[in-house]
């Protein structure tokens, strides 16, 4: 995250006027010290457990990218918006698998509490495991678009099915939702693990730009769901993960910073500001969309 913040112009952070709440539907979250006191609510849609948990670590990593404060790393691995609050729904299991029913329950839960908890952003990093078939994915797309029309900024992963064209999921093709692809700029350009090589791509013949935007996603160091406290302090506090699932919360965190500064923005205004301020990487639309997220430009004005 230290590298990412410098790369996308998010090196200097200032508290805004308001702290929006970001909802994360994923594998859950643990009470990581970097997230302490900022998990507003947790709901388990798989096993109905009451305690906060994450038996995968994926959700905790995503939450750390969005809003970890870097407490255990003296700020080095701080997330994008370190005072943001989080609402977390567990809809995926330890393998990253889930059901459309659990996802829809999670979306309904977020929408039902949207105003009471000031939820402004919904992060969907479901680019892991096998979640649903095409018909069920279409159902989920409709549900997420309804959430968008209720005023939520829905940010979803493009998926890891590239490099071929037209490999976006049905959700990722939605014209309403913000679809995030993965690109590392000049970093990892000679590595076969570079996320741009497998990030899902849009349709090269389409007139619209999809994915909407890209963000770094290779070897992102963030909060580890397996953190433990032992003699002498905490162990295994951070872990590296890669994929569009990591790029997506970078964009969600950037939008949280924007809404801190401009709480009056609706989701359409925030989306347009995000896309208009992106850095053009000089690549085809179906690969980069509008370009790389640029936080410095996003927060100007």
Which tokens sit at 139? 């159902």
Pairing of strands 21-26, 85-90: parallel
Q: If DSSP codes are grouped into helix, strand and coil, which group holds residue 165?
A: coil
pLDDT at residue number 222:
97
- At CA 158, angle to CA 48 and CA 293, rounded to 5? 110
pLDDT at residue number 129:
44
Query: pLDDT tens for residues 210-244?
Result: 999 999 999 999 999 999 988 778 999 999 999 99
Is omega for the bond preceding 271 within 30 degrees of 0, making it cis? no
pLDDT at residue number 247:
97
Q: Reply yes or no on whether the pLDDT at 134 is more than 80.
A: no
Helix (H) or strand (E) holding 253: helix 244-261
pLDDT at residue number 33:
97
* Distance from C-alpha of 17 to C-alpha of 20, rounded to nearest angstrom: 10
Residues near 206 by beta carbon (within 8 Å), at least 6 away in sequence: 285, 286
pLDDT at residue number 13:
58
pLDDT at residue number 292:
97
Query: pLDDT tens for residues 83-121?
Result: 999 999 999 999 888 888 899 999 999 999 999 999 999
Q: If DSSP codes are grouped into helix, strand and coil, which group holds residue 283?
A: coil
Which domains, ranges and CATH numbers included, belong to the chain?
Answer: 2-298 (3.40.50.200)
Q: Please indicate, yes or no, whether the overall pTM of this predicted structure exceeds 0.85.
A: yes
Q: Reply yes or no on whether the pLDDT at 144 is more than 90.
A: yes
CA atoms 275, 198, 144, 249: torsion sign: negative
Mean pLDDT on 59-81? 96
pLDDT category of residue 197 using cuts at 50, 70 and 90: confident
Cα-based distances in Å from 70 to 14, 117, 215: 15, 24, 20
Q: Reply yes or no on whether the pLDDT at 128 is more than 50.
A: no
- H runs (alpha helix) in 126-202: 134-149
pLDDT at residue number 206:
85
Which residues does the annotation mark as catalytic?
26, 58, 245
pLDDT category of residue 24 using cuts at 50, 70 and 90: very high
Mean pLDDT on 23-49? 96
Q: Reply yes or no on whether the pLDDT at 64 is more than 80.
A: yes
Eight-class DSSP state of 17: S
Mean pLDDT on 178-205? 86
pLDDT at residue number 127:
56
pLDDT at residue number 95:
87
Instruction: Report CA 292 to chain centroid distance, whole Å.
Output: 15
* Distance from C-alpha of 147 to C-alpha of 285, rounded to nearest angstrom: 26
Residues 59/31, Cβ–Cβ less than 8 Å: no
Beta partners for 157?
Answer: 180
pLDDT at residue number 132:
57
| Token pair 């090589």 in the structure block, residue | 197
């Amino acid at each position: 995250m230290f590298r990412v913040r410098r790369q996308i112009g998010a090196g200097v952070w200032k508290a805004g006027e308001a702290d929006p709440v970001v909802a994360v539907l994923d594998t859950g979250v643990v009470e990581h010290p970097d997230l302490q006191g900022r998990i507003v609510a947790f709901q388990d849609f798989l096993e109905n457990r009451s305690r906060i948990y994450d038996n995968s670590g994926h959700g905790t990593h995503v939450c750390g990218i969005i809003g970890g404060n870097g407490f255990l790393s003296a700020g080095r691995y701080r997330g994008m918006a370190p005072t943001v609050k989080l609402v977390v729904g567990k809809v995926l299991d330890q393998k990253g698998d889930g059901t459309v029913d659990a996802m829809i329950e999670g979306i309904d839960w977020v929408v039902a509490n949207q105003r009471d908890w000031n939820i402004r952003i919904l992060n969907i990093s479901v680019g892991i495991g096998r979640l649903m078939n095409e018909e069920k994915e279409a159902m989920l797309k409709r549900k997420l678009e309804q959430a968008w029309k209720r005023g939520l900024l829905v940010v979803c992963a493009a998926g890891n099915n590239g490099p071929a064209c037209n490999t976006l999921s049905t959700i990722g093709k939605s014209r309403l939702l913000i679809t995030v692809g993965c690109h590392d700029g000049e970093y990892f350009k000679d590595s076969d693990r570079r996320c741009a090589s497998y990030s899902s791509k849009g349709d090269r013949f389409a007139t619209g730009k999809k994915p909407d935007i890209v963000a770094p996603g290779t070897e992102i160091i963030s909060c580890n769901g397996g953190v433990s406290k032992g003699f002498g302090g905490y162990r295994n506090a951070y872990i590296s993960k890669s994929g569009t699932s990591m790029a997506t919360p970078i964009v969600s965190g950037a939008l949280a910073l924007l809404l801190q500064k401009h709480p009056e923005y609706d989701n359409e205004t925030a989306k347009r500001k995000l896309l208009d301020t992106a850095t053009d990487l000089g690549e085809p639309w179906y690969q980069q969309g509008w370009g790389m997220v640029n936080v410095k430009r996003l927060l100007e004005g």
